[in-house]
Amino acid sequence: PANSPNLNLIKNVWRLLKGRIQRRFPTIKEEARRYERLEPEDFEKYTGNMRERCLAVITADGGPTKY
């Protein structure tokens, strides 16, 4: 369970960042600026439920979860 994809929070953060830049073809500098503007609140919705994610993975014995 420690390597479970259900515990991969960065995937959600990348999806958030992708949504912010999807309409354009930004330069690397523009992408870096957008990344730097991410606020802690942007991450909280993914990290705030980490306990529930871990419990779901344990309960599912490493199988699929809703995450």
Residue 64 lies in a domain: no
Residue 65 lies in a domain: no
Residue 61 region by backbone torsions, left for phi larger than 0, else alpha for psi between -120 and 50, else beta = left
Q: How many domains does the chain contain in total? A: 1
Residue 66 lies in a domain: no
Q: Which residue range is the domain that position 13 belongs to?
A: 5-59
Greater pLDDT, 64 or 22? 64
Residue 36 lies in a domain: yes
For residue 1, the model assigns a pLDDT of 62
Residue 20 lies in a domain: yes
For residue 21, the model assigns a pLDDT of 77
Residue 67 lies in a domain: no
Residue owning tokens 């942007």:
42
pLDDT in tens, 12-53: 888 888 887 776 677 888 889 988 999 988 888 778 888 898
